[in-house]
Amino acid sequence: MNKMKNFKRRFSLSVPRTETIEENEFTEQINQLNMRHTQGLTPDTLGPPSLDASPVSPEATTPGARSPSSLRYHSQAPLRRFSMEDVSKHMSLPMDIRLPPEFLKKLQQDSDNSSFCKPVSRMSRRASLGTYATVFKGRSKLTENLVALKEIRLEHEEGAPCTAIREVSLLKNLKHANIVTLHDIIHTDRCLTLVFEYLDSDLKHYLDNCGNLMSMHNVKIFMFQLLRGLSYCHKRKILHRDLKPQNLLINDKGELKLADFGLARAKSVPTKTYSNEVVTLWYRPPDVLLGSTEYSTPIDMWGVGCILYEMATGRPMFPGATVKEELHLIFRLMGTPTEETWPGVSSNEEFRSYLFPQYRPQALINHVPRLDTEGIDLLTALLLYDTRSRTPAEAALKHPYFLSLGDNIHNLADTASVFSLREVQLQKDPGHRSSVFQPLGRGKNRRQSIF
C-alpha cells in the first residue's frame, strides 16, 4: 500500500491535474495490477488482456489476433512476442511494480543482443524532451530497412515521461500514409526505444535545401498531405498541438508525414481544460496565446496556415520571441481583433492588459504574392481569430485551391500515398541546390534533427 501511495503522489506531481485520468479509475487499475503481480506474473503470462492507462481507448481487435507491431525479444527459447499495447499501458508505472525484476533483467540481456535492429549512427537529442531522448539511425537485421530509433531514458523513480506515454498510446492506433509509422517498441529497465519508419528529411530541411524557394505546385502537394494526415487525426478526436516544419517528415518520394506526437492529446478523454503551454510559439494561435485552455481541433489549423505561408514565402509568418511580441506580429498583419472579428475578445483580461494599437488588417496577397487567389482564400480561412469560423481540415481538403490535383486524390484509401496517382508528381524546385532530399545525418559524425 505504501508503494501504491508513493506512486500516486509521484504521478500527481509529474502530470498536470487537467491531463490525468480520474482518480477512482486509476486507483482501480493500480489495485488490479498489484493483484496480478502478487499472483506471480511471469513473462509467459504477461500479455492481453491488459490495463488501459493510455489517454485514448484502443480500437477493438480480433480475439487471439497478434498485434502487427509488438516487442520482440530473443532467448534460448523460441521467439516470443510481447504485446506493444501491454508495454504502453504499464510503462507509466514505477519500475518496482510495473514488471517483475527477473523479467526486466532478462529483457535487458536480450536487448543487448537483439537481432531486431542495430544502430547505424547517432542523430540528435530532441530539445523539448530534455536530456532523456536521443534519436539514432538504425537498420533492421530482419528486413535491412532503415529505421529511426528514439531512445528515451527512464528514471527509476518517475518511470516513462508523459510525452512518451502519449506518443506511443496515440501512434499505435494511427495507421495513415501521412502519419509516421511506429513499428515497434523495445522496453528495458533503463530506457524505452521507439522504432519508427525512417524518413530522409523534414519540411524545414527541405525548405533550406531549396534555398527557401519552393515550387508552388509542390507547396500544394505538401499542403494537401498535411491536411490529409491532420484530418485523419481530427476525425479520431486527436489534437496534434505541435505542428511546425520540423515535425513534418519527408521521404525521398516526397511523402509528407506528421511526426512527434509527444504533445498530442485525445480530445475524447474527459477533462474541463487543457494546458495552454502547447504549440511552438511561432505557430501558436492567438486564443491560446491569450491563455485559452478550452480548445479543440482549430488549435492545429492556425499552425497549418502559418506553415502554408512559410512554404510559399520561405520565411516564418510570425517569428516572435515572446508571447507579447508574437501577438503584436499577428495583430499588425491580421489587424487588431474586435468584437466583430473575434466575439468576446474585449472581455479577455490579458488582451486588455497589453494595450495593443488598433491595427487595420493588411491584404495577404501583398505578403504572399506567389499564392493564387484560391490559395489566399484558403490561407485567410485558416487564420481567422474566431475559432468557430476557422476552417477545419476536412473542409480545407475540398477547397478549390486543390482542384488541379484532380478528383481521384479524394478517393484514396487511408494508407495509400498521393503519389500512387499518376497525375500527382512533384516538380523540380527552382531554388534547389544539389539534392533536394538531402538525408538527415549525411556526412561523418554529422548530427541532425529528425524528431
pTM, full prediction: 0.68
Paired residues of 139 in beta bridges: 118, 146
> Quick one: pLDDT at residue 166?
75
Side chain identity, residue 360? R
Return the biggest CA–CA distance within the chain: 73
Task: Please list the active-site residues.
Answer: 242
Please spell the DSSP secondary structure of 362-405, one letter per residue: PPGGGT-TTS-HHHHHHHHHHT-SSTTTSPPHHHHHTSGGGGGG
CA 38 to chain centre: 37
In the structure grid, which three cell numbers stand for residue 1, read together?
A: 500500500
- Residue ranges and CATH numbers for the domains of the chain are 2-56+79-197 (3.30.200.20), 201-420 (1.10.510.10)
Sequential pLDDT tens for the chain (451 residues): 565 555 545 544 444 444 444 444 444 544 554 454 444 433 333 333 333 333 343 333 343 444 333 333 333 333 334 344 444 443 333 333 333 445 445 444 444 444 345 555 444 333 333 344 688 888 888 888 899 998 887 876 666 777 777 788 888 889 999 999 999 888 887 888 889 999 989 999 999 999 999 999 999 999 999 999 999 999 999 999 899 999 999 999 999 999 988 888 786 554 445 554 556 899 999 999 998 877 789 999 999 999 999 999 999 999 999 999 999 999 999 999 999 999 999 999 999 999 999 999 999 999 999 999 999 999 999 999 999 999 999 999 999 999 999 999 999 999 999 999 999 999 988 766 544 444 444 333 333 333 3
d(CA 369, CA 356): 28
Cell 497478434, located at residue: 66
> Quick one: pLDDT at residue 172?
86
d(CA 52, CA 108): 24
Q: Quick check: 223 and 178 in contact, CB under 8 A?
A: no
d(CA 25, CA 30): 9
d(CA 447, CA 125): 9
